[in-house]
Amino acid sequence: MKTIDRLVNRYLSIVIDVICMVILGILVTVVFLNVVFRYVLELPLAWSAELAQILLVWLTFMGAVAAIRRNRHLKIEDLLNRLPPASRRIVYRVINVVVSVFFVLMIWHGIGMTVTVAGQTTDALRVSAAFFYATIPIGFLLMLPYSVYHALTGYRPTEEKS
């Protein structure tokens, strides 16, 4: 279990945080350049809005991975906090098992959607539309280890605060 803990909570977490920081930095730069070129130089960049959309979608899913790692997703805290500690851990584990099953379904359907649009390209950047849709299976695939880990360990950092 220590090996899984190290892989999931240390190494994967660092990679996800770095990816989020890089995407956010690129997104801010692209939007800033778009504003400067459009309103100052009066030379709008046709590709900047599309790239910003792609980056925002990727940042959303990578941010969701970072949130689940930190156990910060919305959950039924009031219900869990009203339960006795032993029941709370069991219910928390069941919730994470259900969430893990949902993630597996989203990975499966996300792959199907990505494959379906693979032949289409975006208007300005001329990249495959699959680049948008790939965020679904990749994002949920990266969230899955954290959900499984929480289901196995019953880990709840908010439980310590209660």
* Calpha distance 40→59 (Å, rounded): 28
Residue 148 burial (CB count, 10 A): 18
Cα–Cα distance for residue pair 156/46, rounded to 1 Å = 46
Is residue 121 classed as helix, strand or coil in its secondary structure? strand
Closest by alpha carbon to 73, among 98, 99, 52, 51? 99
Domain count of the chain?
A: 1
For residue 26, is pLDDT > 90? Answer: yes
Residue 67, pLDDT > 60, answer: yes
- CB neighbours of 16 closer than 8 A, spacing ≥ 6? 62, 65, 66, 69, 142
Tell me which residue has tokens 């928390």. 92
pLDDT surpasses 60 at 107:
yes
117/124 Cα distance (integer angstroms): 17
pLDDT per residue over 42-59, tens digit each? Answer: 888 889 889 999 999 999
pLDDT tier, 60 (very low <50, low <70, confident <90, very high otherwise) = very high
Answer yes or no: is pLDDT of 70 > 50. yes
What is the spatial distance between Cα 55 and Cα 101, in angstroms, rounded to a whole number?
27
pLDDT at 162: 36
Residue 71: name the closest of 2, 147, 153 by CA. 147
Give the residue numbers spanning the domain of 82.
2-161
